[in-house]
Structure 1
Amino acid sequence: MSKRLAPLFFTTGLIISALARAGAAPSNPDRPRFARVRAGVRDLPAAVDRLSRLMGWTPTYRGDDRVMFSTDTAPLELDAATADSLATIVLSVDDVDARYRELLKRGAVSMTAPADRPSGCREASVQGPGALTLELEGPLAAPPDFSFTELRAGTGEAPGPEDTVKVRYVGTLSDGTVFDGSHRAGLPAMIPLASAIRCWSQALPRMKAGGRARFVCPPEMAYGREGRPPKIPPNAALTFDVELFGVMH
């Protein structure tokens, strides 16, 4: 079965957030809610076939001049038009490189190869139907010695990169020395992921509230060549045992 890729947002000059599912009740009834994205294509049958093959999306409505796709986050509408709409569909994925290779195997034409961006994410893009661009966005590539082990699966919410997490954790050096932990205060810690070390910003979004995990952070994903004396020496790999209690937006 083809894997479905979930759109995060779409751009047509301006970025339109589609994080809220279409059809969900708006928090403020006086505010308009996001409904769907519409793009025009000159060859509608070819565009539908290409999106279905690349994305694994199945049309929920198919007419002579309009086709609707119900994706995981926001509906996409393709209309028969005299000119192709210039737009970018940004897809949120866990592994940009793996998804990029998968799209190329399905016949996609590369536009930009996977690369880390200064904004703190990894991106790649391929040509979509018409003038559409399909862009992949995900976490920065982790070094090969980064490891994540789930000790107990959570059933609650997974944090996003800008969220604050409520956790209980213990951090140890490679020799087992404990250098930090929430146990020192006797209460769970509140950690903003936007200001956390890179290892945490990549590992915590893989967890769900109620879960426990252990992750090993190579120096380049922690405190690097300088370390954090006197507790963390230079070029130190760090191991964290973390229990996630909750997520705050």
Structure 2
Amino acid sequence: MKQHRLAAAVALVSLVLAGCDAQTSSVELKTPAQKASYGIGLNMGKSLAQEGMDDLDSKAVAQGIEDAVGKKEQRLKDDELVEAFTALQKRAEERLAKASEEASASGKKFLEENGKKAGVVTTASGLQYEVVKKADGPQPKPTDVVTVHYEGKLIDGKVFDSSVERGSPIDLPVSGVIPGWVEGLQLMHVGEKYKLYIPAELAYGAQSPSPLIPANSVLVFDLELLGIKDPAQQDAEQAPAQ
């Protein structure tokens, strides 16, 4: 199944690349279909780039599509294609494994050095935090829903998500987030700002939740606790939806 998905991904993104190679200046992105077509190519391209697929031959893929649509005889036998897809998949997996190992090593080194800095506290779980702004508001419980503003970064400073950039805080259940957040939120008082340094095992571990976050990544969050939702207010907000 992986080979078939990879083949489909390669075909889609390379078709877009092939078209752009010859007609970049004439491509129009006006209709919903045109915009969706561009979006498919963009998303698939990002995904393949994350997996290290940076040497695909867009012209060869375009030729394969042309042969298939024109019902021409295929130029490679099925067993040759299977062998090629297997090699491509193996290479992608090796690159992802290497990136995961590098993220794990650099993350451990980062936490060791960061934990020695003044103002950084390391808890029993390994979570590190720094109080940026103190306040005397109430602390949330595991059963609470809170309103927060946040910005998430990798240890190299790359931002992968930010409610601040979107200009809109979010409501979330304290117990419904990654373990590092569950612990960190319960340390905070409403009105406070923390910087959380979350080890991979308290974040997404060996999983890569998005192309922007490699497996085994240490995550750094600037987190502001804006409020704790009143249970009665929650019920009132949920009632219309129900």
TM-score by length of 1: 0.42
Structure with the higher fraction of residues in strand conformation: 1
The structure whose RCO (Cα within 8 Å, separation 6+) is larger is: 2
TM-score by length of 2: 0.43
Larger radius of gyration: 2
